[in-house]
């Protein structure tokens, strides 16, 4: 597949390109509208702050491009900050509107947690079975497995409005947060598959297949 990786001047772009190339997908880092819309798949990566990221997307004219791509029904993947940007708003530093692709918000980890924030390192996922997928009888082919370890680096987590959109959760101390979402042709994950060793590479290969 021909995959575009959105370059919106936030870090962690070329690590995802290297990972996609490793598993045999043709990838290109770009902020060109035509190149993005002609791609078979699209990745929104990112490490950094929510307000800065939204500002960069606005300045580069990429907000409508992302929306148009998703409306075309082609595969979209949001990673870490790129996952959080899909939501309606965030409280990181200030109240800031997001892309509004997924209903819900981005919140800081509870200050009552005895564990350090940011949440950095390896942690497992627990897959959920959304009621709508149960009814339709359509098991996922993304192949994230329970108790598999993935690599996380974040101080904020998403709180989706519709729990049936949740694909997997992760526990950090007493806190359980949404670590991935599948919504039609959109998949978002809080962990970094490109930094998660062979398991993360398998995920990237399978998702875009």
Spatial separation of the C-alpha atoms in residues 150 and 121, rounded to whole Å: 8
Which of the following is catalytic: 25, 56, 80, 154? 80
Catalytic (active site) residue 175: no
Q: What is the DSSP letter of 94?
A: S
Which of the following is catalytic: 56, 119, 154, 194? 194
- Type and span of the H or E element at 122: strand 119-124
- 134: CB partners within 8 A, 6+ apart: none
Catalytic (active site) residue 192: yes
Q: What is the DSSP string of 128-147?
A: ---HHHHHHT----S---TT
Give SS3 for 208. Answer: coil
Catalytic residues: 80, 192, 194
């Amino acid at each position: 597949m021909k995959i575009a990786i959105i370059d919106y001047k936030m870090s962690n772009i070329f690590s995802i390109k290297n990972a996609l190339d490793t598993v045999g997908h043709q990838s290109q880092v770009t902020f060109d509208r035509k190149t993005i819309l002609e791609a078979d798949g699209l990745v929104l990566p990112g490490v950094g702050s929510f307000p800065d990221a939204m500002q960069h997307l606005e300045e580069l004219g990429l907000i409508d491009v992302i929306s148009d791509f998703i409306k075309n029904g082609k595969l979209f993947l949001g990673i870490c900050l790129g996952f959080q940007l899909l939501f309606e708003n965030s409280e990181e530093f200030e109240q800031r509107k997001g892309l509004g692709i997924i209903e819900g918000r981005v919140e800081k980890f509870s200050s009552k947690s005895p564990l350090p924030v940011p949440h950095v390192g390896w942690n497992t996922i627990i897959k959920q079975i959304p009621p709508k997928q149960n009814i339709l009888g359509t098991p996922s082919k993304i192949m994230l497995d329970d108790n598999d370890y993935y690599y996380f680096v974040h101080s904020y987590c998403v709180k989706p409005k519709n729990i049936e959109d949740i694909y997997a959760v992760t526990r950090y101390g007493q806190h359980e947060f949404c670590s991935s979402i599948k919504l039609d042709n959109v998949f978002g994950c809080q962990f970094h598959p490109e930094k998660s060793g062979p398991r993360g590479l398998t995920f990237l290969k399978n998702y875009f297949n």
